[in-house]
Amino acid sequence: MKPSKMFAFTLGTLSATGGFLDIGDLVTDAQVGARFGLSLAWVTVLSAVGIVCFAEMAGRVAIATKRPPMAVARARLGPRYALLVALASFAVTGLLVMAELSGVALALEIATSIHYLLWVPIAALAAFVILWSLPFEAMERVYGILGLTTLVFIVAVWKLQPDWGVLFESATTTRPPPGESWAAYAFFVAALVGAQMTPYESDFFGSGSVESRWRPGDLAEMRVNVFVGFPLGALIAIAIQAAAMLVFFGPGVHVEHLSQTALPVAVALGKVGLLIAIAGIFAVTFGALIETLFAAAYDVAQYFGWSYGRLQRPARDARFMVLVILLLVAATALALTTIDPIRVTIIAVTISGMLLPFMFFPLILAANDRRTMGPMGNGRVSNGVGTVMLGVSLVVAAAAFPLLVFTRGGSA
């Protein structure tokens, strides 16, 4: 394999790793680790299997049909279904834009002690300048490489010298620890699934495959990105849970702030580790900000058939760019109302969990259409795993909102 091809593989994999992690993950993983230890790590493993399955399917559908997921949904299930899904996905992903923007600002606040609200408009402006002027490949390279800094959480767990037997026992326990209720446990199952199988990830992946004009010959690269990148992201997510468990579980501390996500790294590795963790938090939230901006705009542009894209010059897809700018402005305005970004994140990931079956069902249908997919249609493994994960997402979708209300966002 040529070095340039290897480099492209590596970058694509890193982008997928960063794509798994975002503000929802950073917050939820730390909360879960502090309260439940590793007894919810199985949810992360399950979510990784799910997102690998559906992202690979979305990429394959995009390569075979040369059409993005939302267009495929419209063709399969009619414009009314596609409109409802597009609107719901746009709303939830729009909320996540605000959460990611706040995450970027919070990371900068932790680094500088300047209040995060002062950073919000600056982060938004930086995102706009980068979107407007940098080619998308350059953006992916930067936040893909910077996202490697989140590996510091894995190093921190090792450096904290845990009792591996205790970690293993916690990871193989599938019930809440003493003092926690089954309702809170179930809520965090739903929240983790919503945070780690966010609809925008597979949507963005599929749309990206169309834009990059991937051919059947690119299938191997796409699969490496998915099969290596997302599980690596899941490993980092479990490391965040483990690090939080090792520092917070014993004293009975609940995590409510993003700074607490970074604290275990400081305990383990000192100042340098802390700075690397902050860089990692900045990188994943900034990368997720770009992805959620595009994903939300894709929902609308693909439904209405607008010209759009990351690879075109902004002036050639004016409506798409105007929508991206409006989203950025709305997210900035919402963040500046001082609404708690952590609370918004928890709500957004829970609602995103409710959308999963509506996004994945048309994908499975499309991937099974032999007329359009040809030899790239789903095999037994894809269908088996996809059907199981669809079932899981249906259960999560039904239970997420009642649990969100009944447990008051997991606090009860």
Q: C-alpha angle 201/21/61, rounded to 5°?
A: 20
Q: Which of residues 277-296 bind other proteins (CB under 8 A)?
A: 278
Phi first, then psi, for residue 407 (nearest 5°) are: -95, 5
Q: Under the criterion CB under 8 A, does residue 155 sit at the interface with other proteins? A: no
Residue 111, class by beta-carbon neighbours within 10 Å (0-12 exposed, 13-18 middle, 19+ buried)?
Answer: middle
Q: Under the criterion CB under 8 A, does residue 110 sit at the interface with other proteins? A: yes
Tokens of 20: 């798994």
Contact assessment for residue 161 and residue 278, using Cβ atoms and an 8 Å cutoff: no
User: Residues 4, 113, 161, 337: which binds other proteins (CB under 8 A)?
Assistant: 113
C-beta neighbour count of 158 within 10 angstroms: 11
162/409 with CB nearer other proteins: 409
Sign of the dihedral through C-alpha 204, 210, 214, 219:
positive
Sign of the dihedral through C-alpha 104, 107, 111, 114:
positive
User: Residues 79, 135, 177, 270: which binds other proteins (CB under 8 A)?
Assistant: 270
Q: Under the criterion CB under 8 A, does residue 305 sit at the interface with other proteins? A: no
User: Residues 165, 178, 217, 252: which binds other proteins (CB under 8 A)?
Assistant: 252
335/389 with CB nearer other proteins: 335
Give how many residues touch other proteins by CB under 8 A: 32
Q: Which stretch binds other proteins (CB under 8 A): 22-30, 120-128, 254-262, 360-368?
A: 254-262
Q: Under the criterion CB under 8 A, does residue 171 sit at the interface with other proteins? A: no
User: Residues 56, 109, 203, 299: which binds other proteins (CB under 8 A)?
Assistant: 109
Q: Under the criterion CB under 8 A, does residue 142 sit at the interface with other proteins? A: no
User: Residues 190, 266, 288, 335: which binds other proteins (CB under 8 A)?
Assistant: 266
Tokens of 201: 């990830």
Tokens of 401: 């909102």
Q: Under the criterion CB under 8 A, does residue 130 sit at the interface with other proteins? A: no
Q: Under the criterion CB under 8 A, does residue 243 sit at the interface with other proteins? A: no
165/179 with CB nearer other proteins: 179
Q: Under the criterion CB under 8 A, does residue 165 sit at the interface with other proteins? A: no
Q: Under the criterion CB under 8 A, does residue 134 sit at the interface with other proteins? A: no
Q: Which stretch binds other proteins (CB under 8 A): 118-126, 252-260, 292-300, 306-314?
A: 252-260
Report the distance separating Cα 88 and Cα 95, nearest Å. Answer: 11
* Tokens 């997402």 sit on residue: 393
Report the distance separating Cα 19 and Cα 225, nearest Å. Answer: 11
As measured in angstroms, the least distance from the Cβ of 23 to other proteins is 16
As measured in angstroms, the least distance from the Cβ of 112 to other proteins is 6
**How many H helices and E strands in the chain?**
18, 0
Instruction: Give the distance, in angstroms, between the CA of residue 217 and the centroid of all CA atoms in the same chain.
Output: 27
Rg of the chain over Cα atoms, rounded to whole angstroms, equals 20
46/351 with CB nearer other proteins: 351
Report the distance separating Cα 346 and Cα 29, nearest Å. Answer: 11
By the criterion CB under 8 A, which residues form the site for other proteins?
Answer: 109-113, 247, 251-257, 259-260, 262-263, 266-267, 270-271, 274-275, 278, 401, 404-406, 408-409, 411-412
